[in-house]
Amino acid sequence: MSGRAGRGAAWIAAAGMLVAAAGAWGQRIEPAPVPGPVGLSVGNESRMALARAERWLDRNAHGEDGLSAIPGADEVDDAEVERLKPLLEGDAGCLLAGENACEAWGRLAAGLARHGMEMAYLDGTFVPWRNAILHELVVSQRPDGMGGGCWGDGEEAVRSTRAACATLRFLLGFGAEGD
């Protein structure tokens, strides 16, 4: 009888967990409300993406390293920042024909940082833009199976990877030397 009672208690406990889970089914997980430094996980993944990119450049870029400065960062104005903000939601439709996406990410980061804002206002919500850009760069990197990774295809891969490295260094707070 104790075996049946034990199994019955287990069934009741499992049913209780299912009822609790069903009650939470319609609830939404809200993003963390406090902006601040780059999240630990995103930061660690970004550092690994930068290391993979540097290994890839060593093998594929004929001696070229990642850029120390974001291309076009000095010329970015508020209108360009507004044009590029949809990138934060994954919408690449804001890119102009032939525009390099990694360079655009860098210009967006430089423009937002210039204003000293940790959050960007986009379509009625605030977005922690540093984490959003770092996350996008990490997930869009294409690992090569040899411990390296790049962005872009063909001839654009070196240009894109160099620009992504500059953006990662900028957002992670590394100096121009990458230290």
Q: Please check whether residue 147 lies inside any domain of the structure.
A: yes
**pTM of the shown model:** 0.73
Confidence label for 116 from pLDDT (cuts 50, 70 and 90): confident
Q: Please check whether residue 80 lies inside any domain of the structure.
A: yes
List all residues 6 or more positions away from 157 whose beta carbon is below 8 Å from its beta carbon: 60, 150, 151
pLDDT at 69: 81
What is the mean pLDDT of the segment spanning 141-153? 92
Per the CB < 8 A criterion, the answer to whether 161 and 150 are in contact is: yes
pLDDT at 112: 94
Confidence label for 8 from pLDDT (cuts 50, 70 and 90): low
Q: Please check whether residue 65 lies inside any domain of the structure.
A: yes
pLDDT at 34: 46
Number of domains present in the structure of the chain: 1
Q: Please check whether residue 34 lies inside any domain of the structure.
A: no
Tens digit of pLDDT for each residue in 135-144?
Answer: 999 999 999 9
**Residue 118's domain spans which residues?**
40-172
- Who wins on pLDDT, 123 or 59? 59
Q: Please check whether residue 13 lies inside any domain of the structure.
A: no
Q: What phi, psi does 64 have (nearest 5°)?
A: -80, 135
- Who wins on pLDDT, 169 or 24? 169
Tens digit of pLDDT for each residue in 48-105?
Answer: 999 999 999 999 887 676 667 888 888 899 999 999 999 998 899 999 999 999 999 9
Classify residue 107 as exposed, middle or buried by CB count within 10 Å of its CB (0-12, 13-18, 19+).
buried
pLDDT at 62: 75
pLDDT at 160: 94
pLDDT at 33: 44
Q: Please check whether residue 5 lies inside any domain of the structure.
A: no
- CA distance readout (Å), 55 to 3, 66, 105, 174: 60, 10, 21, 17
Q: Please check whether residue 23 lies inside any domain of the structure.
A: no
Question: Mean pLDDT across the chain, nearest whole number?
Answer: 81
Is the pLDDT at 1 greater than 60? The verdict is no
Q: Please check whether residue 22 lies inside any domain of the structure.
A: no
